[in-house]
C-alpha cells in the first residue's frame, strides 16, 4: 500500500449495497418507482421533515427548490463565494441574479454580516451551504426575513443546537454524488415541511404524461440509485462515527503542525465531511509536496464564485482559497492509509 495513491475522497461501498442494487435490476422496475418513494420517506424521517422529493443530482435539487419558491428573472438570490459552481449554476438556470457575498474567515460558511448587507427589495431567497460539514449561522440568517434554502450537500447528519441541519430552511437540499456523505452515484433530495412546495418540485422533475404544458425537466432519481441510497442511509451513523474518530486523531496528531486546525463552534456539531486546515502562506507548494508523496490533499473549493464572475472585494474568500488544504478523511480509509496521511502531513507541515 505504501506506493499506492491515497485519493482525496472515495465512496464507502459494501456487498449489501451491491445486492440491493442487483435486486432492483432483477425486478425489472429500474426507473423512478416504489424504491424512490421509500428512500424519500426514510430520508425525510431521518432529517425530521414532513416531505421529500428525490432528484438526479444536488444541482437539480437546488434548481427545482428555487423554481418551487417562484424565483425568476430579475429576482436576486444571495449565495456565498466559497462554494462549488453548482450553486451558481442553479441560480443562473432560473435566470435570477446571483448576489455573491464573502464568507466567515473561521468556518468558511456564508458571512452573516455580508448577507445582511446584500439584502434588497429584489431579494427572493438566500442559499446557505453548511461548508465541509460545519453548520452555518442558521439562527442569525433565519432572522433576515428571506426564504432560506439550506444546502446540506456536505452536512448530512450535522447538528445545529441539537437539531439536524436541514430542519431550518423553508426548503433544504442534499447531494448524493459519489464522494458525498451518502452516495447514490449521482442524486439529490429536496426536503421541507411544506407539502405544496415539495409537490411543485415533484411536478417539475418530470415532463411526461402531463395534462398541461409547462417547461419541465427530467430530474428524476431511479430505483437503482434509491436502492443504494437506502443502504447508505442505514449506515449513516457508522459513517459519522468513523469521520469523527479520524478527525479526533487528526486533531491530536496535527496540533504541532504549522497550520490552523478546523474551528469547533459551540452548538454546531461538525461531521468533518472535509478536514480543512489553513496554512501560513499560499497552499500551492505543500499541496504539490503532498501529491508527490501520493497523498491527494486538495483545495476544498476549486475556484470561488467571485473569481468565476470576475468580481472584486472578497478578502476572506480569497484568503481561504489561497491558504486552505483539505486533508483526506472518509470512512473507507484503512488504518495504514490514515497512518501514511498523518506521517506525510507532519513531514510537510
pLDDT at residue 2 in the model? 58
118-153 pLDDT tens trace: 999 999 999 999 999 999 999 999 999 999 999 999
pLDDT at residue 292 in the model? 98
Residue with cell 460558511: 109
pLDDT at residue 3 in the model? 79
Of 152, 230, 150, nearest to 184 (Cα)?
Answer: 230
Report in angstroms the alpha-carbon separations of 313 from 207, 238, 291: 42, 42, 32
pLDDT at residue 119 in the model? 98
Residue 153 CB neighbour total at 10 angstroms: 27
Cell of 131: 461548508
Give me the count of residues in the chain: 349
pLDDT at residue 129 in the model? 98
pLDDT at residue 16 in the model? 98
Residues in the chain, pLDDT under 70? 1-2
Q: Domains for the chain: give ranges and CATH numbers.
A: 15-234 (3.40.640.10), 236-348 (3.90.1150.10)
* Integer Cα distance of 336 and 331 in angstroms: 13
pLDDT at residue 205 in the model? 98
Of 99, 188, 105, nearest to 144 (Cα)?
Answer: 99
User: b/e map of 248-258 (b: 16 or more CB within 10 Å)?
Assistant: eebeebbeeee
Provide the whole-model pTM: 0.97
Residue 98 CB neighbour total at 10 angstroms: 19
Residue 222 CB neighbour total at 10 angstroms: 22
pLDDT at residue 264 in the model? 86
Amino acid at each position: 500500500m505504501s506506493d499506492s495513491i491515497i485519493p482525496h475522497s472515495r465512496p464507502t461501498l459494501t456487498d449489501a449495497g451491491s445486492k440491493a442494487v442487483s435486486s432492483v435490476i432483477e425486478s425489472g422496475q429500474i426507473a423512478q418507482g416504489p424504491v424512490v418513494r421509500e428512500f424519500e420517506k426514510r430520508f425525510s424521517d431521518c432529517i425530521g421533515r414532513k416531505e421529500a422529493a428525490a432528484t438526479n443530482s444536488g444541482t437539480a435539487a437546488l434548481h427545482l427548490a428555487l423554481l418551487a419558491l417562484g424565483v425568476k428573472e430579475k429576482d436576486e438570490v444571495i449565495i456565498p463565494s466559497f462554494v462549488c459552481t453548482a450553486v451558481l449554476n442553479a441560480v443562473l438556470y432560473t435566470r435570477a441574479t446571483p448576489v455573491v457575498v464573502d464568507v466567515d474567515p473561521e468556518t468558511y460558511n456564508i458571512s452573516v454580516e455580508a448577507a445582511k448587507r446584500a439584502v434588497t427589495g429584489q431579494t427572493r431567497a438566500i442559499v446557505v451551504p453548511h461548508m465541509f460539514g460545519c453548520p452555518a449561522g442558521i439562527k442569525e440568517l433565519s432572522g433576515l426575513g428571506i426564504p432560506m434554502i439550506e444546502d446540506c450537500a456536505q452536512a448530512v447528519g450535522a447538528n445545529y443546537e441539537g437539531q439536524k441541519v436541514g430542519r431550518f430552511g423553508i426548503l433544504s437540499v442534499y447531494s448524493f454524488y459519489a464522494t458525498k456523505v451518502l452516495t447514490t452515484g449521482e442524486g439529490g433530495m429536496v426536503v421541507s415541511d411544506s407539502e405544496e412546495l415539495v409537490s411543485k418540485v415533484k411536478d417539475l422533475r418530470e415532463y411526461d404524461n402531463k395534462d398541461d404544458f409547462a417547461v419541465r425537466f427530467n430530474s428524476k432519481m431511479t430505483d437503482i440509485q434509491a436502492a443504494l441510497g437506502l443502504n447508505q442511509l442505514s449506515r449513516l451513523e457508522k459513517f459519522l462515527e468513523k469521520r469523527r474518530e479520524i478527525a479526533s486523531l487528526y486533531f491530536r496528531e496535527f496540533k504541532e503542525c504549522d497550520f490552523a486546525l478546523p474551528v469547533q463552534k459551540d452548538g454546531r456539531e461538525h461531521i468533518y465531511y472535509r478536514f480543512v486546515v489553513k496554512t501560513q502562506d499560499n497552499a500551492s507548494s505543500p499541496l504539490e509536496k503532498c501529491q508527490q508523496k501520493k497523498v491527494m490533499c486538495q483545495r476544498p473549493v476549486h475556484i470561488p464564485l467571485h473569481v468565476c464572475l470576475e468580481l472584486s472585494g472578497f478578502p476572506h474568500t480569497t484568503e481561504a482559497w489561497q491558504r486552505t488544504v483539505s486533508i483526506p478523511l472518509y470512512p473507507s480509509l484503512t488504518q495504514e492509509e490514515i497512518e501514511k496521511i498523518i506521517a506525510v502531513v507532519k513531514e510537510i507541515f
